[in-house]
Chains A and B, each alone.
Chain A
Amino acid sequence: MNVEQVQNTHPELVLAETPVLQVQNFEVTYYTDAGRAKALDDLRFSLKAGEKLGIVGESGSGKSTLALAMMQMIKTPGRIEGGQVYVDGTELMALNAEDMRRSRLQKIAYIPQGAMNSLNPVMRIGAQMVDAVISHVENESKAEIKERCMLALESVDLARGTFKMFPHELSGGMKQRVCIAIGILLQPQVIIADEPTSALDVVTQRQVMETIDRVRKKINAAVILIGHDMGLMAQFVDKVAVMYAGRLVEVSTVRQMFTDPQQPYSRALINCLPNLENKGVFQGIPGLAPSLLRLPGGCAFHPRCALARDICKTSRPEPQSDKSGRSVICHLFDKEAQNEPSS
Chain B
Amino acid sequence: MSHLLELRNISKVYSRGLISKQSTTALQDFSLTLREDEPSILTVAGESGSGKTTLAMLLLGFIAPTTGQIIYRGKDISTLRGSEKLAFRREVQAVFQDPFAVFNPFYTVDHLLSVPIKKFKLAKSRAEARNKMDEALTAVGLRPEDIIGRFPHQLSGGQRQRINVARALLLKPRLLIADEPVSMVDASLRASILETLRNLQRDHGVSIIYITHDLTTAYHIAKSIIVLYRGAVMETGEVEAVIKHPQHPYTRLLIDSIPWPNLDQRWGEQKIITRESSGAGNGCPFFSRCAQANEQCKNPAPLFSIAPHQAAACFLHSNKPELEAAGISETLPT
Contacts and interface: CB of A to CB of B under 8 A. Distances in A.
Please indicate whether A and B come from the same complex rather than being unrelated chains. yes
Interface of A: 58-60, 157, 171-172, 200-207, 210, 228-236, 254-255, 258-259, 268-270, 272-276, 279-285, 288-289
A202 B214 contact: yes
Given A202-B47, A202-B258, A269 B188 contact: yes
Interface of B: 46-49, 156-159, 186-192, 194-195, 198, 213-217, 219-221, 240, 243-244, 253-254, 257-263, 266-268, 272, 274
A291 to B, nearest CB: 10
B48 A201 contact: yes
Contacts of B258: 202, 231
B135 to A, nearest CB: 22
Contacts of B195: 282, 284
B188 A285 contact: yes
A279 B238 CA distance: 13
Contacts of B189: 284
Contacts of B221: 280
A279 B266 contact: no
Contacts of A268: 188
Given A172-B48, A203-B47, A274-B219, A284 B190 contact: yes
A206 B261 contact: no
Nearest to A274: B216
Contact of B220 (A157, A200, A234, A280): A280
A201 B47 contact: yes
Given A274-B217, A284-B189, A254 B262 contact: no
Question: Considering residues B48, B159, B194, which has the most beta carbons from chain A within 10 angstroms of its beta carbon?
Answer: B48
A193 B55 CA distance: 33
A226 B198 CA distance: 30
Contact of A203 (B219, B253, B266): B253
A233 B267 CA distance: 12
A201 B156 contact: no
Question: Considering residues B46, B159, B194, B258, which has the most beta carbons from chain A within 10 angstroms of its beta carbon?
Answer: B258
A254 B46 CA distance: 30
Question: Considering residues A172, A230, A288, which has the most beta carbons from chain B within 10 angstroms of its beta carbon?
Answer: A288
Given A202-B214, A280-B220, A282-B194, A231 B48 contact: no
Contact of B244 (A269, A276, A284): A276
B157 A59 contact: yes
A203 B260 contact: no
26 contacts: A59-B156, A201-B213, A202-B259, A203-B253, A203-B254, A204-B48, A205-B259, A206-B267, A206-B268, A229-B187, A230-B187, A231-B260, A232-B259, A235-B259, A235-B260, A235-B268, A236-B259, A259-B263, A273-B261, A276-B219, A282-B192, A284-B189, A284-B190, A285-B188, A288-B159, A289-B156
A172 B192 CA distance: 29
Contacts of A273: 187, 261
Contact of B263 (A206, A228, A234, A289): A234
Contact of B274 (A58, A157, A202, A269): A157
A231 B186 contact: no
A171 B217 CA distance: 25
Given A231-B258, A272-B188, A254 B156 contact: no
A237 to B, nearest CB: 11
A172 B217 CA distance: 22
Contact of B260 (A171, A234, A259, A280): A234
A248 B245 CA distance: 40
A254 B214 CA distance: 23
Contacts of B158: 288
A195 B157 CA distance: 17
B191 A275 contact: no
Nearest to A158: B274
A202 B215 contact: yes
Given A59-B186, A202-B47, A284 B259 contact: no
A289 B186 CA distance: 11
Nearest to A200: B48
A235 B267 contact: yes
Contacts of B213: 201-202
Given A172-B48, A235-B259, A282-B220, A206 B190 contact: no
A15 B213 CA distance: 40
A233 B47 CA distance: 21
B221 to A, nearest CB: 8
